[in-house]
Amino acid sequence: MRVGMFLNYAGGFREVADEVAELEAAGVDLVAVPEAYSFDAVSQLGFLAARTSRMTLMSGILQLYTRTPTLTAMTAAGLDYVSDGRFELGIGASGPQVIEGFHGVKYDAPLGRTREIIDVCRMTWRREPVVHQGRHYRIPLPEGEGTGLGKPLKLINHPVRERIPITVASLGAKSVEQTAEIADGWLPMFFHPERARDVWGASLDAGLARRAPELGDLDVFASPALAITDRADAAAAAIAAVKPNLALYIGGMGARGKNFYNDLVASYGYAEDAATIQDLYLAGRRDEAIAAVPDELVRAVSLIGSASEVGERIAAFAAAGVTTLTVTPLARSSAERVALMGGLRRLVG
């Protein structure tokens, strides 16, 4: 099992790079750089490529709608080049709040766009003339839709690899099925190892049944919060620290009936809790929404407790098929984060 972590996308590049160098020395395999409505992830990934030598660098995630498929392919090839073949392309749909609210682009057809972007990326990395006449992307643009001067082009540079790993963030049944079929990795949110099979098992099985053998095994990510402590009060504080983020996603990421994360938590068996959290959050009663998040749910989707307790949870994630842990360490300083990640590395082995 690989050990990785998500970086804080709101921090400064230089400070983060200093910490990442220490994380690499502590045995961390991978760092993922999110991209919300902060600095772009690509700039930070390129900066980190120059400050590291071994660990994998991953976009976590680049949104589908903010770059053309060929620009996504060019960017991934460039990051793979400057990192000497250490880049993994994480992509996902994000949500209407960011895509329409910040970028001003219509949020539509995430399933179809994902498949077409992956097809174009792999074609580009093989240095084939890019010809893709899909439903959502038409390359080159036909004469009837443009000037007629466009012609198929191939990437000028020779990529380090023609198969850069692609991980897709997905939650819905059809999206997870497609991810299992065509992607190298799958990045869900709030992975509950004891309930994941009930929620996603049929979708994963259907997708894996159509998976091309050359893709190899699907790399399954989980992204729990991490706090290793023998103190009951510290563990309780860590649980409390996770609740605001869960409440935000369960209650506030989308309108009523259009919240993927609320649906997910409900499918885990917390339908009443999810409805209560959403009602409170949408009513502006955020503190009450946070308090309504069950401790049991936090513990299930996190790695919080003593070393032995965290070890047991790691085993549960592994038994559920997780192959990469990209955690969020609950720490107040760089030194604490590095120590936590080193502790996780020792527990995973």
Tokens of 193: 């190892």
In single-letter form, the type of residue at position 45 comes to L
Give dist(CA 310, CA 302) in Å, integer: 9
Q: What is the pLDDT of residues 88-131, one digit of tens each?
A: 999 999 988 889 999 999 999 999 999 999 999 999 999 999 99
Per-residue CA distances from 273 to 171, 282, 299 (Å): 19, 14, 15
Give dist(CA 62, CA 68) in Å, integer: 11
Question: Residue ranges of the domains in the chain?
Answer: 2-223+321-348, 231-305
Q: Could you tell me if 33 and 60 are in contact, meaning their C-beta atoms sit under 8 angstroms apart?
A: yes
DSSP per-residue codes, 213-228: GGG-S-EEEE--EEEE
Q: Distance from CA of residue 204 to its chain's centroid?
A: 17
Q: Tens of pLDDT along the chain (349 residues)?
A: 999 999 987 777 788 999 999 999 999 999 999 998 989 999 999 999 999 999 999 999 999 999 999 999 999 999 999 999 999 999 999 988 889 999 999 999 999 999 999 999 999 999 999 999 999 999 999 988 999 999 999 999 999 999 999 999 999 999 999 999 999 999 999 999 999 999 999 999 999 999 999 999 999 999 999 999 999 999 999 999 999 999 999 999 888 988 999 999 999 999 999 999 999 999 999 999 999 999 999 999 999 999 999 999 999 999 999 999 999 999 999 999 999 999 999 999 9
Indicate the SS3 state at residue 56: strand
Q: Looking at domain 2-223+321-348, which CATH architecture does it have? A: Alpha-Beta Barrel (3.20)
